[in-house]
Each structure stands twice: as structure tokens, then as C-alpha cells.
Amino acid sequence: MKAIDILHEISGRLAPCGIDGAEREAGLFITEGLDIDPVRLYRDNPGIREEQAVALREMADRRSRREPLQYILGRIDFAGLEISVGPGVLIPRPETELMAEHAARALLRRRASGNRQRTMILDLCTGSGCLALALARAFPDARVLGVDISETALGYARENARLNGTGNVEFLRGHLFEPLRGGRLFDLVVSNPPYIKTGDINGLQPEVRDWEPLVALDGGEDGLDFYREIIPAARRFLRHRGVLMLELGAEAAEAVAGMFRRSGYTRIEIFKDYAGIKRVIQAEWTR
């Protein structure tokens, strides 16, 4: 069987399942799943062995049940890192890559201000560890901690640290600040917390609603439960003029900014994502 034949077969199986870009995804199954260069796929139309065709059909069957493409392929690129993902861990989004960029800028500004202590970074609700690992790679002399309540997610995070050769990061299990001991203080605390309103979860795409972990999605009745907890609690863990940075749910920016103001933070900044949605908020804490 030729590669283009199996591509058309898989595309034809996916399209009736409500999957947009079925041919593009079929191509990814072949190029990513079998490590075939995209140019070679379309230029040379190489032969596919029967066992490879069977594996590709199994992948198509999984996708036809709306299992996320990233789970089937087992990995996703994030800020230049290869991040392993699968059932039980949230799939990293481009919005979180944007937060990694803003977090790096905040740390560079802090370093430029003359801070001489070893940079300490905390990532709450770390999931796959993508954000913690991106910052650990960007600041190899920093110490990075990632915290998550899910042992399954932490298994992926630790494996991702190994895959990317990142030695300056540690992952701890617990709810938010709970596992931190010994009066640790951080220059930067980041988090992509659960922020979907409970009542909105049933309306999400099947790939999210039926496959990604509910614990990483459900932010309570108004989607703000984790912000209410993180913002006041973070003050005890931030160094002087340390930064707290949070990813935002749609339309949550003003409510979260109000929480920052009421908790005494200063220099509140909000950043929009590529779609123009207010997606990241940061503020400083003066001890």
C-alpha cells in the first residue's frame, strides 16, 4: 500500500466524525506516527508495510472516538520542548506558551533591577510540567518547583524533565501551596489554573470534555475558585516585588484584577492572546 492511499483512507474515516481538517490530521498520523518527512510523503508517496497500515488504522479508530490527536501521537511541541502527554494530563495550549514568554520577560526585568539571589520559580497546577520546564530551560541557573494534585500529571511532568534533560526543576504533589515547607520565597509564581465554569463543561468539544482531566478544567460555578485561593495565599511565598502571573479564562480579567487590588498587589498588567482575548495577568507584591 502507498502512503497517499492510506492517507485518503484515514481522512475518509475521520471526516464523518465531525473532525475538522481530517486530511491534515491523517497526514500527521503518517508523518509523526511513522516518522516520515512531510515533503517525502507527498513527493515520493512511499510504500507502507502492512503492520504500519494496521497501526495507522488503530490510530484512526481512536481519533474517530474524538480522542485528542495529541494523546494518540503521545507528544506536543511547547516552546521548543517536546512534551509527552496522554490520558490524565491537560494538553498544553498556545496561550500557555504566551504566558511563558511574558514570564521570561518579567524575570529578565527583575534581574535587571539588581536582584542577586538565586532565581526561584514556582509553577502551580503544573500538569505536564510544560511551563515549569520552559522557564527552567530559559533560566538554567534558576531553581524551579512545579506542584500538582494529580500523581498522573506529575508522572508526565517528571518524564518530560527527563526527556528534555532539565535538571533544575523539581515536581511536588499537593494542592497549590500545600506541599511547600521551610518558608520558601519565590521571584515568580505562575499558574494556569482550572478556570472553566462548571456549567460550561458539558458544552466543550468532545476532545476536551470527554478526555482531558476534569480536575484540570473545572474552576467552580463562576470559574474563579482557584484565583480566589491563589491570589491572597501567594503573598506569603513571594519575595519583595515578586511577581504572580496567572492565565485567565475568557471574560475573567476584570474580576481577577479586582482580586489583585483587594489583596494589595501593585503594577497589575493584563496581556491579550493571539485572538485578542485578555489571557494573562500579572502583578507585584511588595513585602
> What type of residue is 206?
P
* pTM, full prediction: 0.93
Pair (156, 24) in one structural domain? no
End-to-end CA separation in angstroms for the chain: 67
Quote the domain boundaries for residue 242: 79-285
Q: Which helix (H) or strand (E) holds 23?
A: helix 22-33
Pair (110, 61) in one structural domain? no
CATH number for the domain including 207?
Answer: 3.40.50.150
CB 34 within 8 A of CB 59: no
Pair (15, 157) in one structural domain? no
Among 42, 65, 88, identify where a domain stops. Answer: 65
Pair (139, 273) in one structural domain? yes
Q: Is 267 helix (H, G, I), strand (E, B) or coil?
A: strand
Among 25, 42, 65, identify where a domain stops. Answer: 65
Rounded CA gap, 180 and 113, in Å?
A: 27
| Structural domain contains residue 71 | no
**Residues sharing a CB contact under 8 Å with residue 74, sequence separation 6 or more, in sequence order:** 84, 85, 86
- Alpha carbon dihedral 133, 138, 144, 145, in 10-degree steps, equals -30
| Structural domain contains residue 198 | yes
Pair (151, 10) in one structural domain? no
Taking only the tens of pLDDT, the chain with its 287 residues reads 888 999 999 999 999 998 888 999 999 988 987 788 888 888 888 888 899 899 999 999 999 999 999 999 999 999 999 999 999 999 999 999 999 999 999 999 988 877 778 899 999 999 999 999 999 999 999 999 999 999 999 999 999 999 999 999 999 999 999 999 777 999 999 999 999 999 999 999 999 999 999 999 999 999 999 999 999 999 999 999 999 999 999 899 999 999 999 999 999 999 999 999 999 999 999 97
| Structural domain contains residue 271 | yes
Encode 200-228: b = buried (16+ Cβ within 10 Å), e = exposed.
eeeeeeebebebbbeebbbbbeebbbbbb
**Residues sharing a CB contact under 8 Å with residue 46, sequence separation 6 or more, in sequence order:** 2, 3, 36, 40
Residues 184, 188, 193, 197: is their CA dihedral positive or negative?
positive
Pick the closest to residue 93 from 220, 250, 231 (CA basis): 250
Pair (145, 194) in one structural domain? yes
CB 190 within 8 A of CB 131: yes
Among 35, 65, 95, identify where a domain stops. Answer: 65
| Structural domain contains residue 74 | no
Pair (118, 236) in one structural domain? yes
Pair (203, 255) in one structural domain? yes
Pair (46, 119) in one structural domain? no
Pair (164, 201) in one structural domain? yes
Pair (104, 24) in one structural domain? no
Pair (10, 151) in one structural domain? no
CB 201 within 8 A of CB 134: no
Q: What are phi and psi of 259, to 5 degrees?
A: -65, -40
Number of domains in the chain: 2
